[in-house]
Structure 1
């Protein structure tokens, strides 16, 4: 079949696909935290779409690992280069943004366990976000997409439905340090945008993922989600906490980031990237159990026990604020703007478990 023809202003005829590829190839996207769970998937989606990607890492020693990961996933990484950035330092941010059309600011410190001091997590999250915004605007970037979390909306709720208008109460003693860091970082981003002149062309979009599941792009299973699933299938998590909140597949999160980057109607909006119905730890455990993972525990931990453990265990303390949650999300913006059809959660859970099991067997 002959390719479609596009008439360029000079009268020269060229295939439409060639024109589109040429336009995309001229666009460069900075992805901060490119070596992370979400960052790798975002970079892969961008490269597959023909963009040039500049990935930031805390140390350039990570470059080899990222390139090997892309190769193992059959992603052409010839348009991928790297810069070294630290969320707590100004060095390199101006150079990293130079010549970029878009920025996906994915990098943020994450652990379920509360740190010894909250500033260890909050300061890098807030200051890193502001550094990313200022550098992007100064470099003439069109739009920055910030990776936040539904925790910045639902952190102090227990039941009902939350949407883009909701904000977590950062003064609540029930929320984890991670929840507080994501909320304060996102608020700082919107406050920064409000401080700009009215005729400002620089745009911000915030993507708020739910609990993220799905197979990693590479062989790194050290992230919080993979660690949790690994413990479950290994029988090291005999009891599960009583909580349920919206979750999402990591591959969906990456695709939503790309849509948020280019969709005109997304500018200035908070985009919930999560299933509308809550998913409990018990449901995930039961899905694994039914699929042959016999060592998975399917008993619910008493809240009193977890509250007691929180005095001695920082991970248990990070879970306390989520106990008894049963929340729905209003994900209509992502569904309507991007025509998003979420990946079924059972598929995400099982494919995560399969990946963790395979990697542990081949590296153990």
Structure 2
């Protein structure tokens, strides 16, 4: 309980980084599809702390012990957990979306190798958008991925949200089902938004790090490196983009609040970081990490992003070095990493 309160206080501090203007916040109710997910729960908390009322959907019963921790999310707004919502069934969604002005779609499927994911994400997105149209929702923000921004022609000098798009057929052929699903979900949401006069934005992250509000243990590649479960026999000659989960949540809320926000926004904090530098930062903060041997040969160029559009949302994201440092500190504070 104390740990959760500390995390919420930290997020309240993070929310102060936003410069968007709120108007009549308390009058607005926002629906969050999958409010119990890792990112969905942080979006829910961010909304509550900014004074919005939230109707959040979960697939299980609202009083199921698995989601009891949602009651601990505190803020100036109120949270209503709506249970037994199956986004694959359109008639299941009205009970959470009815009476809300904005909607966040934070739902997905956990298995990235799941071949049916693209079709299921399109169906889910279609159902949510239809319910939003029926219930006169004004704005929708969709959680997607930088995997939707990889043009088949190769990586550009600077990635731009409104210029560079992935090919879902190519992604499917390469068995990149998660990326394919996000690409098709974006297309669906934007098309239906245009047809229904709903303002639609998509936030596109890559690696997301930070506290689990549910109290569950994290299991991402950074954790596996720190615990020794995964070892790099040699350093991968590639790079990764990061963001703190609280900053990602703030981007979603800012996209709702900004009436001019439309289309895609990168959900990364900086240009990507080479894996050799990732290992160095992690070892600086967790000395027992077995860092890989120095890279042989020339480094590949890291991915560069044009952040012009993201900056219009007014969210100041912490740098990658701070994201990694805070993640190690979080895992030490929870006892997941134990100092010798």
TM-score scaled by length of structure 2: 0.81
The correspondence for 1:161, drawn from 138, 158, 161, is 158
**Structure 2 residue matching 1:181: 3-state secondary structure:** helix
Q: Are the equivalent residues in 2 in contact too, given 1:155–1:179 (CA < 8 A)?
A: no
Which of 284, 298, 304 is residue 278 of structure 2 equivalent to?
Answer: 284
1:350 matched residue in structure 2: 325
Residue in structure 1 matching 2:238, options 224, 235, 243: 243
What residue number does 1:88 align with? 88
How far residue 155 of structure 1 moved from its aligned partner, in angstroms, is: 6.5
Which one is further off, 228-237 or 83-92? 83-92
Cα distance change on mapping 1:69 and 1:90 into 2, 3 Å: closer
1:176-221 residue CA offsets vs partner (Å, 9 max, x unmatched): 2111111111112222234x2xxx5422111222321222234123
Aligned equivalent of 2:187: 187
Match of 2:313 among 338, 349, 353: 338
Residue in structure 1 matched with residue 46 of structure 2 by the alignment: 45
- Quote the residue 2:304 is aligned against: 328
Match of 1:5 in 2: none
**Would the alpha carbon gap of residues 298 and 180 (structure 1) be closer, same or farther in structure 2, given more than 3 Å must change?**
same
Alpha-carbon distance, 1:238 to partner? 1.2
Q: Find the counterpart in structure 1 of residue 105 from structure 2.
A: 105
Residue 228 of structure 1 pairs with residue 221 of structure 2 = yes
Gaps of 5+ in 2: 1-20
Alpha-carbon distance in 1 for matches of 2:291, 2:74 = 36
Q: CA deviation at 1:170?
A: 2.1
Residue 332 to residue 62, structure 1, CA distance change in 2 (3 Å): farther
Equivalent pair of 1:243/1:326 in contact (CA under 8 Å): yes
Distance 1:177 1:360 in 2: 34
Q: Is the 8 A contact 1:158 1:324 kept in 2?
A: no
1:161 Cα deviation from its structure 2 partner: 1.9
1:260 is aligned to 255
**Contact 1:241–1:300 (Cα < 8 Å) also in 2:** no
Decide whether the 8 Å contact of 2:51 with 2:77 is kept in 1.
no
Aligned partner of 1:10 in structure 2 is none
Q: 1:217 to 1:351 in 2, by over 3 A?
A: farther
Residues 354 and 66 (structure 1), Cα distance of their counterparts in 2 relative to 1, 3 Å cut: farther
Cα separation, partners in 2 of 1:352 and 1:150, compared to 1, 3 Å: same
Q: Larger deviation: 145-154 or 348-357?
A: 348-357
Contact residue 35 and residue 62 of structure 1 kept, 8 A = no
Q: Report how far residue 252 of structure 1 moved.
A: 0.9
Contact 1:70 1:76 in 2 (8 A): no
- What corresponds to 2:113 in structure 1? 114
C-alpha distance in structure 2 between counterparts of 1:213 and 1:361, whole Å: 15
Q: CA deviation at 1:45?
A: 0.7
CA, structure 1 residues 229+74, in 2 after alignment: closer, same or farther (shift >3 Å)? Answer: farther
Q: Secondary structure at the match of 2:31?
A: strand
1:70–1:218 Cα contact (<8 Å) kept: no
Structure 1 position 42, deviation (Å): 0.5
Shift of 1:260: 0.4
Structure 1: which 4+ aligned runs deviate by more than 3 Å?
20-23, 61-67, 73-80, 155-159, 299-302, 356-363
Measure the CA separation in 2 of the matches of 1:359 and 1:63.
25
Shift of 1:248: 1.5
Instruction: Note the 1:192-203 alignment, pairs <5 A.
Output: 192-194=192-194, 196=195, 200-203=196-199
**Aligned partners of 2:126 and 2:189 also within 8 Å:** yes
Q: Does 1:136 align with 2:135?
A: no
Q: d(CA) in 2 for partners of 1:233 and 1:78?
A: 37
- Change over 3 Å in CA distance of 1:280–1:57 after alignment to 2: farther
- Retained in 2: the 8 A contact 1:159–1:325? no
8 Å contact from structure 1 (residues 248, 342) kept in 2: yes
Number of aligned residue pairs: give it.
Answer: 310
Could you say if the C-alpha distance between residues 330 and 64 of structure 1 is closer, same or farther in structure 2, counting changes exceeding 3 Å?
farther
